[in-house]
Structure 1
Amino acid sequence: MQKSIAAAAVATVIAAGLFAAAPASALTASTRVVGGEKAPATASIVQLQATGGTIPAGYASSCTGEQISASWVLTARHCIDGIGAMNVYHSNSTANRGTPVAVDRISAAPTGDVALVHLRTAYALSSYTQLDLAATAKSSGTGTIQGYGLRANAVQSDGLYQASVSLTGASTDAFGGRAQHVTGVSGASNHGDSGGPLIVNGKVVGVCSTGDSADPGANTRAGSNYALLAQASSWIRSTAGI
C-alpha cells in the first residue's frame, strides 16, 4: 500500500531483546557494520535520513537503502514506520552526504520487513542494485553485508562499510516474515545498517531487519536477520515496475 510521508504514523516494531534501526530517540542512528572493511564506491547503496512524524524533535533516523531504478529505493519496512519526511543521499561519505533527494511516497510490503521509497525527482544512475527475488534461506555458504554508521563500540562510521558473513539458516524478521540468519565472519551488523543489503552471488537477497542482541559492541561474529526479498517478490515488481 502506497502512502504519503505525512501519513506514515505507524507503530514502530522492535522485537524484545533485538536491535532494529527504528526511528526513535533510543536509536539515534540505525544499524551499521562492526568490523569489516571500506566498501567499494557505489552510488546505488544510499543513505536514508528520516525526521518528523513520531520521531522526537531533534532526532533523525538513519538507514541504508538500495536504489533499484531511477525512482525507487529498497529498504526495511521499519525504516519508514512513524516518519514524517525522508531524504536520500548518494554519497558514500557520512560526513559529506551530498545533495539530498526528497522522498514523496513510501510503500510497505504486505509481508515481511521490506519497503520501497519513491524519489520525488528521478535520480538516474549508471547502474542499479541487482536483486535476487527468488532466494530462500540457506544453512551454508557466505554473503556480504553493507551499511553506513556506527562501528565497533558505537563509533560513528565515516562511510559505507562491508563485511563477510556466514549464512546460518532460516529465521524471522521484525514483522514476522521470512528471513536469512547470518553470523559475522569479518564483521557484523549494528544499529544503523537496517535496510542494508545482504549480497549473495552478486545480488541482494535480503535487507537488514534485526540483530540477535541489542548491542553487538565490538563482536564481529554477532548474528542478525535479513528479511528475504522473495516473500515480497511480486509486490516489488509491481510497485517499482522492474
Structure 2
Amino acid sequence: MKTAKILVTAAASAALLAPMLSGPAAQAAAAREVHHQEKPAPVGDGTFSRDIAGGATSTVSAAPFVAQVSFDSAGTNVGCTGSQIAASWVITAKHCNATSLRSVRLGTSYLGTGGAVRSVAGRYPAPAGDVLLLKLSTPYYGAYVGLSNAFPATGTAASVYGWGDQSEGSGSMSYYLKSAAVSVIWQGLDNYGGPSVRTRSQSGHTLSGDSGGPLIVNGKLAGVLSSSDILPARNPANFTAYYNDHASVARNLAWITSVSGVQGS
C-alpha cells in the first residue's frame, strides 16, 4: 500500500490528522493525498503537461462559480479551490481551514489574477466531514452553483475543476483553470471519516491545490474534493485506475443550510 502525502502546514495538520489516527477513515486514506498547499507555486515548471495530470484547460465561463482559496489578503497565495454557493458564501474543504486562510478570488480563469478578491469574514467547519463554509466580507454577485440533495448513482458521469499542480509532486499549480471527467463509483469516506462520493478519474486526476474543488453532477455540486490516489512518478497515459474522495454535499446538506441558508434541490 502506498504512503499518503499530507500537504498541510503545522497550523492545519493537528485538525486534519486527529480524526485519521485510527479506524476505517485511516485505512481508506492510507494511499491517498490531501490536496492543500499554502505556499505560492511557480507557473510553468517544464513538466510535460500544462494541465493537471491530463484533463483540459477551461475558462471561468464553463464553471463561473469556481473560486480560488488564498492564504494571504491579496488573493495571490492560492492553496485550495472552492465553489460559490451564494453571494456571501463559498464552500471548500475543512482541511484547508488554516489560520492563514484570508481571502477568496472569484470570477477569473487565471491563477492569482483577475476577477475580484473578497476577504474571508468567517470560517465554519462542518461538525463531521471534510467541509468548510467561508463567509465573505462583502457579497460577490456572480453565478452560484446549486447544491445537490441526492447522492449520485454509481456510474454517473461527473466533472471536477481546479488550478492544482500540473503533475504529481511538481509543486507548480496551473495558471489556467482545468477540468477533467470522472465517474461515480460508490460511497466512501473523506479525511474526517464523513461520507464521500468516491469517483474514478477518466480524463485527468486532481492533485495538490485542488482540495475543496467542486464535483459537478448534472450541473449541481455533489461533492467537495477531500483526497485522491497518489499518482506514479510521471503522469500516467490514462487515469482509469485512480480514485478520488469528495465530501458528500447531500450528506452535509442539513448543516450547510443551517449555517448559510442555502438549500439543495
- Structure 1 counterpart of 2:69, one-letter code: L
1:83 aligns with 99
- SS of alignment partner, residue 254 of structure 2: helix
- 1:21 matched to 2:18: no
| Amino acid across the alignment from 1:36 | G
* Corresponding residue to 2:177 among 160, 177, 180: 160
- The residue number in structure 2 matching 1:150 is 165
In the superposition, relative to structure 1, how do residues 108 and 95 fare at CA in structure 2: closer, same or farther (>3 Å)?
A: closer
2:125 to 79, 95, 108: 108
Q: Deviations over 1:46-104 (max 9, x none)?
A: 1011259xxxxxx9561111001110001111111x32342111122015244421001
Distance 1:170 1:110 in 2: 19
Q: Does 2:65 match 1:50?
A: no
Structure 1 residue 17: Cα displacement? 3.8
Sort the Cα spacing of 1:97 and 1:214 in 2 relative to 1 into closer, same or farther, 3 A. farther
Counterpart position of 2:20: none
Correspondences of 1:110-129 after superposition (within 5 Å): 110-125=127-142, 127-129=143-145
Q: How far apart are 1:177 and its partner, in Å?
A: 0.5
Unaligned runs of 5+ in 1: 1-7, 53-58
Checking the alignment, whether the CA contact within 8 Å between 2:229 and 2:244 is kept in structure 1 is: yes
More strand per residue = 1
- Where do 1:200-219 residues align within 5 Å? 200-213=217-230, 217-219=234-236
Output the CA distance in 1 between the equivalents of 2:41 and 2:189: 24
* Native 8 Å contact 1:110 1:232 kept in 2: no
Q: How many residue pairs align between the two structures?
A: 223
Partner residue, 1:35:
54
CA distance in 1, matches of 2:244, 2:112: 26
Question: Structure 1 residue 152: deviation in Å?
Answer: 2.6
Aligned identity (percent) is 31
Distance 1:85 1:193 in 2: 15
Pairing 1:228–2:242 present: no
CA shift in 2, pair 1:191/1:239, >3 Å:
same
Aligned to 2:147, what secondary structure does the other structure show? coil
| Deviations 1:7-37 (CA, angstroms, capped at 9, x unpaired) | x978242554421134567x979xx942111
Residue identity matched to 1:135: F
Partner of 1:35, secondary structure, is coil
* Letter matched to residue 201 of structure 1: N
Q: Taking structure 1 as the reference length, what is the TM-score of the superposition?
A: 0.81
Q: TM-score, normalised by structure 2?
A: 0.75
State the distance in 2 between where 1:114 and 1:140 align.
24
Q: Show structure 1 runs of 4+ deviating over 4 A.
A: 214-217
CA distance in 1, matches of 2:71, 2:231: 21
Root-mean-square deviation (CA, aligned residues, Å) is: 2.7
1:87, 1:102 within 8 Å by CA — same for their partners in 2? yes
Q: Distance in 1 between matches of 2:195 and 2:127?
A: 12
